[in-house]
Amino acid sequence: MKTYGSEPGAPQSVQVGISELAVSDGNDTLRSYGLGSCLAIALYDLESEIGGLAHTMLPDGDSADNSDVKPGKYADTAIRALLRRMVERGASYTTVEAKLAGGSDMFEFESFGDGVGERNVAAARAELEKLGVPIVAEDVGGDYGRTVEFTPESGTLLVKTASSEENEVTEL
């Protein structure tokens, strides 16, 4: 008898929407679509093959009244939530690395100063530095959107834009 669909234990494709995060301990592919000023934060531990992806919308959740908000909404709270969930699954905090993509300034609003995208990137960099997590690669800024595909098992982060082919984010 033929069956259709995924075999048990087969790699899955997981969509990570705005303000969401996901953790995988296998060769699943975590995807975020339509990153503009939003920032994709990929954390992974190659030794345990555990990693996660957050699709953050805003920079700083510590200063907001966010008691009812998803932890993935803000760059700083998303990083801490990803790390916590990864360690709970067996990742080693000391070997986690980060890759970033997104943080574009899609629109010019001179009255607001720095754009949201730029502030998202700055907040993520600051939080990762504070926690001692190295950023090993990034594709940030610009004025164009991105879609990302992240495979925690290998640490591979692929970035697609409307104006270019798929590119792997490999190093700074």
Q: What is the pLDDT of residues 14-25, one digit of tens each?
A: 999 999 999 998
Helix (H) or strand (E) holding 100: strand 97-102
User: Is 4 part of a structural domain of the chain?
Assistant: no
Helix axes 75-89, 116-131, angle to 10 degrees: 40
User: Is 6 part of a structural domain of the chain?
Assistant: no
What's the pTM? 0.88
DSSP 129-146: HHHTPPEEEEEE-SSS-E
User: Is 155 part of a structural domain of the chain?
Assistant: yes
User: Is 8 part of a structural domain of the chain?
Assistant: no
Q: How many domains does the chain have?
A: 1
CATH of the domain at 163: 3.30.1330.200
Task: Show the low-confidence residues of the chain (pLDDT under 70).
Answer: 1-10, 62-68, 107-114, 165-166, 170-172
Q: What is the pLDDT of residues 47-69, one digit of tens each?
A: 999 999 999 999 987 665 655 57
Question: Which residue range(s) make up the domain with 104?
Answer: 13-168
User: Is 134 part of a structural domain of the chain?
Assistant: yes
Catalytic annotation, pick one of 22, 35, 38, 41: 38
168 is catalytic: no
User: Is 64 part of a structural domain of the chain?
Assistant: yes
